[in-house]
Amino acid sequence: MKEQIRQISIQLFAEKGFKETSIQDIVNALDVTKGTFYYYFTSKEQLLMDIHLSYIDALLEKQKAILNDGNRSSREKLYDVIFLLIHDIEKEGLSAKVYFREMRNLSEPHFSKIAEKREQFRKQIEAILVEGMEKQEFRKDLPVDIVALGVLGMANWSYFWFNPEGRESDRAVSDIFMKLLLEGLKGSQ
């Protein structure tokens, strides 16, 4: 039931917005009582926090597995992280929507906790870049933090435009972005 509440809430929050969805809307959609809701969650905000935590924790865990994969080069790891983000936006579209749009409805200490985890995700991209610079897979003369933010921006922005039914798959978009990031746009002139 907890998972059902979470799933229907993600749908409702994505459709109508967090503020515009009441606990009554949630329990109505599941045909249960408010008592059931309060058995699992203390408040609507705690539910929102729960959704945020599941989303970012799952991403962080997958990212950590990429980071620690001794069989992949740093370039491959960077590719894997870009694919992770774009694929996730495709697969978890509604959760991503709630994650990108409703974070501002978290109050403290919830907000800071999620902000910290988002930062951790960014820092782990930096770690891949640093590793790759040490192994000379990446150039060393660009500041790691700004490059990480550039990579993150490129991948995360796909949330606003990526269409799973579109011409290019999540895999194809990741390939193009990786080529662009690695080899650059420069032509022969």
Positions in the binding site for a copy of itself (CB under 8 A): 19, 78, 129, 132-133, 135-140, 142-143, 146-147, 149-150, 152-158, 161, 168, 173, 176-177, 179-189
Cβ atoms 8, 49 nearer than 8 A:
no
Nearer residue to a copy of itself within complex by CB, 92 or 102: 102
What angle do the packed helices 110-134 and 144-156 form, to 10 degrees?
120
Reduced to 3 states (helix: H, G, I; strand: E, B; else coil), residue 154 is helix
Q: Whole-number minimum distance, CB 37 to a copy of itself, in Å? A: 24
Minimum CB separation of residue 46 from a copy of itself in Å reads 21
Task: Supply the minimum distance, in Å, between the C-beta of residue 127 and a copy of itself.
Answer: 15
Pick between residue 8 and residue 152 the one whose CB is nearest to a copy of itself: 152
Q: Are 76 and 128 in contact (CB under 8 A)?
A: no
Shortest Å, Cβ 117 to a copy of itself = 15
What distance in Å separates the CA atoms of residue 49 and residue 123, rounded to the nearest whole number?
22
CA 84/CA 90 separation, integer angstroms: 10
Closest to a copy of itself by CB, 50 vs 137, is: 137
The answer to whether the CB of 84 falls within 8 A of the CB of 63 is yes
Of 2, 1, 19, 21, which is closest to residue 11 (Cα–Cα)? 21
Closest CB to a copy of itself among 27 and 89?
Answer: 89
**Closer to a copy of itself by Cβ: residue 37 or 63:** 63
Minimal distance in Å, beta carbon 24 to a copy of itself? 19
